[in-house]
Amino acid sequence: MQLRYNYRAYPDAAQRGALASAFGCAWVVWNDCLRDRREAHAAGLPYVKSAELSRLGITQAKRTGERAWLADVSAVVLQQSLRDLDAAYKNFFDSLTGRRQVGSLKVKWSRRLPAAPTSLTVAKDSCGRYFLSFVVDTGRDILPVVETESGIDLGLSAFAVLSDGRKIDSPRFLRRAEKKLGRLQRELSRKAKGSKNRARARIKVARRHARVADRRRDFHHKASTQIIRDSQAVYVEDLAVSGLGRTRLAKSVHDAGWSAFVGMLEYKAALHGRTFARVDRAFPSSQVCSACGFRDGPKPLHVREWVCGECGTVHDRDHNAAGAEAVVRPEPA
């Protein structure tokens, strides 16, 4: 299977300039070739193939006065931009971005790559940080078999409730950072557009958002790894996150980052030989007794505890929902 490993890079001033030039040239090639395909489509002409775009948008463009500076960067960068455009047209977005020549960069090697990478992407985020992203083909790392199976009920009051009774508290990273973010955004709004002060203020806001995202990602990784290590099988509700993101709960839903967390559970289960399955969102987990399977009817959201009318078991609503998801044993994803 393929895994992606990200590392922070620290280019010096000359390297930052070279990377900026490479990024700029890649953007120009992308836009020029995209324009050629759109114009051909609008004129009713056949789809312009990559070989023709490479000849017109790169090789011949370098010979013109308007685009002569494209010759100043590696041809690998320009050809890669064209391959990225092809990937976008095919709607793959699989991040197989090929090799990029970046020279000798200062990199924080937080961990060793398990094998030689098949591709490398150099990225710069909104707050000016550089990252190297490697795609690596690696074998599965099978964990020892355990007896435990876990149903997971995701929520907002508690980030996750497991069928064994464990609760993972919701860190609310964005909510906790809102006060400082609000102050920084007010400062940004007062700066004159196009000024250096506005650019510096924008970077401060971006850094604060990046810190929130980094903390959330770290939390997701730690929680998902622990669950996969402790459970032979994991069952989680297939939540309609996009729908919830349009409600009054939108900010809290995006702050929780359920989709990213479930994605981590899924790929880590595959990597470590665990079973992973999504429970249909229509499954009435709050109505089914996790002890005997009896369906006890719908309950309003304010009912947090209930007694099964069949077996008499007293249930915490969230704990029971997690347990019911494990009991149903859906087909693995």
Active site residue 296: no
Active site residue 230: no
Catalytic residue among 32, 84, 255, 318: 318
Is 173:255 a contact under the CB 8 Å cutoff?
yes
**Residue 12 to residue 285: CA distance in whole angstroms:** 55
CB atoms within 10 A of CB 26: 20
User: Cβ neighbours of residue 108 under 8 Å, at least 6 residues apart?
Assistant: 7, 8, 9, 10
Is 33:84 a contact under the CB 8 Å cutoff?
no
Note the helical H segments in the chain. 13-42, 50-54, 75-89, 173-189, 196-230, 241-244, 250-256, 258-272, 317-328
Active site residue 318: yes
E strand map for 21-169: 106-108, 117-124, 130-137, 149-154, 158-162, 167-169
**Residue 79 to residue 50: CA distance in whole angstroms:** 10
Calculate the CA dihedral of residues 216, 221, 222, 224 and round it to 10 degrees: 120
Q: Which two tokens stand for residue 138?
A: 């690696």
Catalytic residue among 237, 266, 296, 325: 237
Is 303:286 a contact under the CB 8 Å cutoff?
no
Is 111:59 a contact under the CB 8 Å cutoff?
no
Place of tokens 């347990």: 323
User: Cβ neighbours of residue 111 under 8 Å, at least 6 residues apart?
Assistant: 5
Place of tokens 């099978």: 142
Residue 275: closest CA among 318, 237, 226, 329: 329
Catalytic residue among 32, 84, 153, 325: 153
Among all residues, which ones are annotated catalytic?
Answer: 153, 237, 318
